[in-house]
A = this chain, B = another copy of it.
């Protein structure tokens, strides 16, 4: 049936269209059914149907902004709308839920249908559950990664293309800008695409966004890299393994992360940007995302997949028990990064870890001899070359190292007696920073004046909470009060 687009601007987070109930009846369509919508260029998208009476006329169709954009539709344009069968991939998802293994073409079919929006979020949730509860063999994981890479855009770059990735979860841990600056200054190509924060206080993209643009097209990114060897951009809108983004969005609703999906998520992005050398940082231990045992297990799988995909890979297990750096929150973290690069009053743990990671990369690519990477990385940092490189990158991304805004509200958490700090909990620290407004509120967050091992006198400040909103300060404070005993352990 041909229906006329009635442009109503509504955003639903998935492709949804509104069809008049009379038309729906004529087409034997029910709420929640799927239709294929085709524009005049035969581009198509699969959409879920809502039925309406009154907003539009029977010969019209209103589509969500997602569809308007993907099909580049204009008001009053005609589209073809047909009911579509349940995709075959549904039975494949069921097969996996039963615990059977999937063949290559079957995984391809599922991933293609996710890419084409032929599966609803509910069906993708069943796929996620199936992979989570039944696992995947190395073969299946390989096919999953390949299918994900093929579903999206690729970046082709000349030179020694290197990437790093951290599985995350550690408050403050902003090593990436430092590692990238050190490595890129030696001529390595580092097309670093990062995410925004999901559950933590800030992602690398949030942090860099406080001083530069992070949203670019692939062509623009290529130009930035040509100029500076590297970039520090947001990966979310580049269409690199976009199926991964869709899966993550749904996983996030229930906060699960299956190993095959984690491996596929990370490696599909690295392969899409053409990396040949990859460093994976797995912070582990108490209050980290993964235990030491899980980290060893993950490392093995990464190494195996690296061989399968012809990547030179280093996987390091780092101490994930405590926050790293003093600042937690977009601006607080970028300040830490700049301190390390400027060699002015660096947070030692952040400096140490960044130089270590950069050293591993320099050895991995053969720039430094075995055992000499750390030394070389530290030399580069001390020489000021890394800071120069960082400024170049920020400059190429239309940014500059400006003065930062002072937060409107703050709250100092003080020691009620003389004590020695034994542990800060990453998860709760992140949560307090989120309550304070991170990452949307760029000045919000936590500054740790003291770290593990420090002795604090009675009345001394342990950490400060910053925010732009009095209400959020209140909420963050309440959370701190509630979880007081868990945030900090002391003796």
Interface residues of chain A, those whose CB is within 8 Å of chain B, are: 8-13, 16, 18, 21, 28, 31-32, 50-55, 64, 90-91, 93-94, 97, 99, 120-123, 125-126, 128-130, 132-134, 250, 253-256, 440
Contacts and interface: CB of A to CB of B under 8 A. Distances in A.
B31 A12 contact: yes
Nearest to A256: B94
Contact of A9 (B11, B54, B93): B54
Q: Which 7 A-B pairs have the closest CB atoms?
A: A129-B129, A133-B133, A125-B125, A10-B52, A13-B31, A13-B32, A9-B53
Contact of A123 (B32, B99, B254): B254
Contact of A90 (B9, B122, B132, B254): B254
A255 B90 contact: yes
A138 to B, nearest CB: 21
Contacts of A16: 12, 50
B11 A253 contact: no
27 contacts: A8-B52, A8-B54, A9-B53, A9-B54, A10-B50, A11-B21, A11-B31, A11-B50, A11-B52, A13-B32, A90-B254, A90-B255, A97-B132, A97-B254, A97-B256, A99-B133, A120-B253, A121-B121, A122-B122, A122-B253, A123-B254, A125-B126, A126-B254, A129-B129, A129-B130, A129-B133, A133-B133
Contacts of A254: 90, 93-94, 97, 122-123, 126
Given A90-B253, A97-B254, 12 more contacts: A9-B52, A9-B53, A10-B55, A12-B50, A13-B32, A91-B255, A94-B255, A97-B129, A122-B122, A122-B250, A129-B133, A133-B134
B10 A18 contact: yes
A36 B253 CA distance: 18
Contact of A121 (B28, B94, B99, B122): B122
Contacts of A11: 21, 31, 50-52
A125 B256 CA distance: 14
B10 A97 contact: no
Nearest to A66: B31
A134 B129 CA distance: 11
A21 B32 CA distance: 24
Nearest to A62: B55
Contacts of A18: 10
Nearest to A33: B13
A162 B120 CA distance: 40
A91 B253 CA distance: 10
A86 B9 CA distance: 27
Contacts of A94: 254-256
A133 B100 CA distance: 12
Most buried by B among A51, A133, A255, A256: A133
B133 A9 contact: no
A90 B125 CA distance: 13
A88 B12 CA distance: 24
A83 to B, nearest CB: 12
A21 B97 CA distance: 38
Contact of A125 (B8, B54, B129): B129
Contacts of A13: 31-32, 50
A256 B130 CA distance: 12
A51 B253 contact: no
Contacts of A53: 9
A16 to B, nearest CB: 8
Contacts of A253: 90, 120, 122-123, 126
Contacts of A121: 121-122
A253 to B, nearest CB: 6
Nearest to A255: B94
Contacts of A32: 13
B52 A55 contact: no
A475 B103 CA distance: 31
A132 B94 CA distance: 10
Contacts of A51: 10-11
A90 B21 CA distance: 34
B129 A126 contact: yes
